[in-house]
Chains A and B, each alone.
Chain A
Amino acid sequence: MGNLELIVEKHSERIHHGLEVLPTLRHGLPAGLGNKRWTAELILATYEMALTGDLPKKGLEYRIGDSGGGFDVLGWKNNGFPKVDQDSVDLSISLNKRAEGRKIEIPLPIYGGGMSFGSISLNFILARARAAKKIGTYTSTGEGGYPDAIVPYRDHVITQVATGMFGVREETIQYAPIVEFKYAQGAKPGLGGHLLADKVTSEVAKMRESSMFTSLYSPFPFHSVYSVEDHKKHVDWIKTVNPRALVSVKVSTPTDVDMVAIGSYYAGANIIHIDGGYGGTGAAPEIAKKNIAMPIEYAIPKVHDYLVSEGVRDDIVLIASGGIRTADDIAKAIALGADGCVVATAEAVAVGCTHCGNCERGRGCQVGITTTDPELSQFIEPEWGETRIVNLYTAWTKRLRSILAGFGLKSVQDLRGRKDLLVRYK
């Protein structure tokens, strides 16, 4: 074994060991770790769940952050003894509620969000795809193309079609059980995408059919879509190329997000995916993350109520993302009106992300997640990553079942829109 391999092995082993040791608090709560949304405890609790597949045992707060609003000031009205057998609680949801089209069901109300090749490493993409296959859910390509390595997992991979059209080809649409149109991203709504030059390696450039080490922009918006009718043409295009695919429409959360949702429904979408401002990104202007478009907690009831009032709520799937960090966030999102959630950052935390926000710098992520650096990428072995992500979802499953059983609900679908089960804290 050469020195480079030895160095990678050494640090990889040390990082993995650290992820096991840190949640024990044997060395205390790391002072510089975390922030208001992802507190140190929440990060460590996620590490622990990813290790054990169980809820944290040593009192780490795994349910909420410290942001002072949204999900963090919502709690459950009742969390006493389970009123039904937890194991009998059904967490599955359907991703197609229309009468026509392919029926797809996922065993958890969760699937993985788009993170593109280029913004994250191929190994992490593989870990996510493997985990999605194991769980029976989906992960999304993001807008970076469709690496050959994930073709074996194609039954669990959503192909994203975004404005830059990177990697969008006939075959990648035909692979997909679900095709996701990304109109906007919550962390940078209305601004399009930006992959910084440092990350555009030869492989990334080849995949995106561009030049190496040149910044890549995904423009905003789709220049072919200026109305619901234009959007319908997009949906029709996908359905022509792949008649079996379901269509998801990912949008941000403007004031008229309810109108956007109903427009998407009438254009033929199966899933309306609303992405709030506090979600993740490989790189975004700081001003956009905090200040543009509303948080997901406020957007969900707005959309849900409007779809109900229009009489179409049971014909379309409402998926929420953008700041979903915990199983409690998922349950609260569903109680506010969503059918399920898309998760991405929590998967990154499961494999060692510290939410430090240095993804966009030179070599990218120091633990091999948001990087295209060949050395750093090796810190995440796909099998190891798969296990961690599956474990996290296993722990979340237990928490979701516990919440539902506490209310005597036998199916997660019965939780939808049950705001009456929530309480607010000041």
Chain B
Amino acid sequence: MDTQTIKPSKYERFRIETKPAPHVYQIPNKFDVSARKVRLAAMLVHEAFEFKLNKEVVLSRPCIYGVFGGRFGGFKPLKHKCVGCMRCVQEYPHIMTVKQSDEYKRLGDSFWTPEAVFTIWNEASTGKIPVKGMGYKGAFGGEGFDGIWTDMSEIVRPTRDGVYGREYISTCVDIGRKPTRVDFGKIDQTPSTVEVPVPIVFDDFPALDFDVWNAVGNAARKLGTFFVTHDQTRGEDYRERMIPIVDDNSIYETLEKRPSIVEYDGERSDLFEKLSDSLPSSIVIARVPLREEAGLVACKLAREGAHGLHLYTDYHGQDYSEDPRHISESLKEVHQLLVKKGLRDQVTIIASGGITLAEHVPKAIICGADLVGIDTTVLVALQAEFLGETRKRGTYKLRPRKIDQAWGTQRLVNLFGVWHDQLIEILSAMGMRDVRRLRGDIGRSMMDAELREQSFKGIAWAT
């Protein structure tokens, strides 16, 4: 072949460039190690006799992580090095105590567990998937996402390239309305959709700090995703990645700036008409709170022509029903009603609220979302400070600290990188090579409540 005719490929493998972005604000030690000092001194004297003043043996410490490697050994342990292995307690139970630190136990709120906060911090800091030894340590199942297991395939693999093949699993999703059939009269009009390489956007979150918003905007640009905001002055330098939430006050500004995607309150059909008339090339998404009648509202909006639905709950993932349900339940209900009415493929569903860990992304997609929005998780990644319960939308109980924009950007890029990798782990285990196939695929999941009834059928309740 004539080498002159070979054109360079435009193909670029999608990569999220993670790199360390260490914590700027000191994080608490997970473990608190302490020694009873008098007993420690007595033990040293005893061992000095036992080992005939052999300093190396007497001072050899019961820790391989260097907790007692400081100048004062066990009298002033280097607490930040403790990983809770308990060897010092095993060797000297009368002297040593290791427990979870009070500062660690105080992290988060009633929804954000200390473990979840720690996980997000470490993911944002290292950009690496959490890998640990031994088995699972937590509760058996639980409510919401905790009660869902994803499927795996014993023999099917999306690629034959082992771990390297994971790079060929697509995590792209489209935002926008998709035509259900080809209209030959409008064949020149391409579908109005925007592709994002990861099924995650930044949802609106309660912070006024411009550095935080600029970090979010910059991260969205680097990642090729979007951020949703009700205040268009935030992250303004990254306007092309912004999804403004439009209201009466901001509509004219929005019309002028012509964003590629725009959101509005799903109850305001007048706003939808204005937006779709004035911004024919923009994707118009209705924000709909999840509650009892959300399915009917979603069907109505889909029929009226909304391009997408942004379904949301409070920040703890509880919907707004009289008897609140987890987002996994109400999202599934809306998705299934749209499927039943033949409307599901016409609209994109973004789901927000309570998406705080990597596993929530595939599980929300299994429940019917195309992609998810993250909110308080963004602030946790940026080491914001919990001041109380963060449940209510708009509440400012998660106070951002002063951050450097570049640092904040990298933390968020790292978080997305790690979540992207973990999404790929889940997809590869399932033998799937495209996240779009996962949407609403409840058959490839296992629900705690259902399995319990099937497997424990015939077992009587204890009286």
Which residues from chain A sit less than 8 Å from chain B, CB to CB?
A: 3, 6-7, 10-11, 14-15, 17-19, 21-22, 26-27, 30-33, 35-38, 67-70, 72-75, 77, 183-184, 187, 189-192, 194, 196, 217, 219-223, 225-227, 230-231, 251-252, 254-255, 260, 277-295, 297-302, 323, 336, 345, 352-363, 366-367, 370, 376, 419-420, 422-426
Given contacts A15-B91, A297-B455, whether A226 and B156 have CB atoms under 8 Å apart is yes
Which residues from chain B sit less than 8 Å from chain A, CB to CB?
A: 31, 47, 51, 54, 56-57, 60, 62-65, 83-87, 89-94, 97-100, 119, 129-142, 148-157, 160, 162-163, 358-359, 363, 422, 425-426, 428-431, 443-444, 446, 448, 451-452, 454-462
Given contacts A14-B92, A32-B89, A302-B454, whether A189 and B136 have CB atoms under 8 Å apart is no
B31 touches A32 (CB 8 A): yes
Q: Once the chains are docked, how many angstroms separate the CA of A18 from the CA of B87?
A: 9
B455 touches A336 (CB 8 A): yes
Given contacts A67-B140, A74-B459, A356-B84, whether A30 and B132 have CB atoms under 8 Å apart is no
B429 touches A288 (CB 8 A): yes
Q: Once the chains are docked, how many angstroms separate the CA of A216 from the CA of B172?
A: 30
Indicate which residue in B136, B448, B459, B460 contacts A289 across the interface (CB closer than 8 Å): B136
A200 to chain B, nearest CB (A): 15
Q: Once the chains are docked, how many angstroms separate the CA of A336 from the CA of B451?
A: 13
B154 touches A251 (CB 8 A): yes
A22 touches B93 (CB 8 A): yes
A263 to chain B, nearest CB (A): 9
A-B CB contact pairs (8 Å), 25 listed: A3-B54, A27-B93, A30-B98, A32-B31, A32-B89, A36-B138, A37-B136, A190-B430, A194-B131, A217-B163, A230-B155, A231-B155, A254-B154, A255-B443, A281-B135, A287-B358, A290-B359, A293-B152, A298-B452, A336-B455, A345-B134, A345-B135, A363-B64, A420-B459, A422-B459
Across the interface, which residues of B come within 8 angstroms of A7, CB to CB? 56-57, 60
B131 to chain A, nearest CB (A): 5
Q: Once the chains are docked, how many angstroms separate the CA of A399 from the CA of B214?
A: 62
Across the interface, which residues of B come within 8 angstroms of A225, CB to CB? 155
Q: Once the chains are docked, how many angstroms separate the CA of A340 from the CA of B129?
A: 35
A187 touches B154 (CB 8 A): no
Across the interface, which residues of A come within 8 angstroms of B56, CB to CB? 3, 7
B455 touches A190 (CB 8 A): no
Across the interface, which residues of B come within 8 angstroms of A336, CB to CB? 455
Across the interface, which residues of B come within 8 angstroms of A288, CB to CB? 425, 429
Across the interface, which residues of A come within 8 angstroms of B426, CB to CB? 287, 291-292
Indicate which residue in B60, B154, B425, B462 contacts A11 across the interface (CB closer than 8 Å): B60
> Looking at A67, A189, A190, which has the most chain B CB atoms within 10 Å of its CB?
A190
Q: Once the chains are docked, how many angstroms separate the CA of A385 from the CA of B160?
A: 41
Q: Once the chains are docked, how many angstroms separate the CA of A290 from the CA of B362?
A: 13
B38 to chain A, nearest CB (A): 15
Add 5 more A-B contacts to A30-B89, A69-B452 (CB < 8 A).
A6-B57, A73-B140, A219-B163, A281-B134, A356-B84
Across the interface, which residues of B come within 8 angstroms of A231, CB to CB? 155
Across the interface, which residues of B come within 8 angstroms of A70, CB to CB? 140
Q: Once the chains are docked, how many angstroms separate the CA of A64 from the CA of B460?
A: 19
Across the interface, which residues of B come within 8 angstroms of A354, CB to CB? 85-87, 90
Q: Which 9 A-B pairs have the closest CB atoms?
A: A359-B133, A69-B140, A190-B429, A31-B99, A190-B152, A35-B137, A18-B90, A14-B91, A289-B136
B155 touches A287 (CB 8 A): no
Residue of A nearest to B358 (CB): A287
Q: Once the chains are docked, how many angstroms separate the CA of A53 from the CA of B331?
A: 52
A262 to chain B, nearest CB (A): 13
Across the interface, which residues of A come within 8 angstroms of B86, CB to CB? 30, 32-33, 354, 356
B300 to chain A, nearest CB (A): 35
Across the interface, which residues of B come within 8 angstroms of A302, CB to CB? 454-455
Q: Once the chains are docked, how many angstroms separate the CA of A230 from the CA of B139?
A: 38
Across the interface, which residues of B come within 8 angstroms of A358, CB to CB? 83-85, 132-133
Q: Once the chains are docked, how many angstroms separate the CA of A287 from the CA of B136?
A: 10
Q: Once the chains are docked, how many angstroms separate the CA of A280 from the CA of B137?
A: 10
A356 touches B136 (CB 8 A): no
B34 to chain A, nearest CB (A): 11
B136 touches A278 (CB 8 A): yes
> Looking at B47, B56, B60, B133, which has the most chain A CB atoms within 10 Å of its CB?
B133
B455 touches A423 (CB 8 A): no
Residue of A nearest to B363 (CB): A291
Residue of B nearest to A304 (CB): B455
A366 touches B459 (CB 8 A): no
B132 touches A283 (CB 8 A): yes
Across the interface, which residues of B come within 8 angstroms of A352, CB to CB? 90
Residue of B nearest to A76 (CB): B462
Across the interface, which residues of A come within 8 angstroms of B136, CB to CB? 37, 187, 277-278, 289-290, 323
B137 touches A37 (CB 8 A): yes
Q: Once the chains are docked, how many angstroms separate the CA of A280 from the CA of B134?
A: 5
B138 touches A35 (CB 8 A): yes
Q: Once the chains are docked, how many angstroms separate the CA of A7 from the CA of B54?
A: 10
Indicate which residue in B131, B138, B422 contacts A37 across the interface (CB closer than 8 Å): B138
B98 touches A31 (CB 8 A): yes
B462 to chain A, nearest CB (A): 4
A346 to chain B, nearest CB (A): 11
B155 touches A32 (CB 8 A): no
Q: Once the chains are docked, how many angstroms separate the CA of A68 from the CA of B98?
A: 25
Given contacts A11-B60, A226-B155, A285-B129, whether A291 and B451 have CB atoms under 8 Å apart is no
